[in-house]
Amino acid sequence: MDNQKIKILLLEDNPDDARQISNVLKKDGLQFELSLVDTKAQYTKQLTDSFTTRIKTNAQKS
């Protein structure tokens, strides 16, 4: 892997569980950027926004 951070979108309604997941990933040495949402609506919006941004960015590179 080329030391780029992995982007993780985590749907979790319990802050303690989210913190535990993050701590395990850090302990394992994973380089990541965590986005935490706690509802299905927020999760769907984040996914939609992420793909829209990627499509626009890739279109601009062409």
d(C-alpha 36, C-alpha 45), whole Å? 12
Q: What is the DSSP string of 1-62?
A: --SPPEEEEEE-S-HHHHHHHHHHHHHTT--EEEEEE-SHHHHHHHHHHHHHHHHHHHHHH-
pLDDT digits (tens, 9 = 90+) for 10-61: 999 999 999 999 999 999 999 999 999 999 999 999 999 887 766 666 666 6
d(C-alpha 7, C-alpha 33), whole Å? 5
- Domain ranges, ordered by start, for the chain: 6-61
Give the global pTM: 0.73
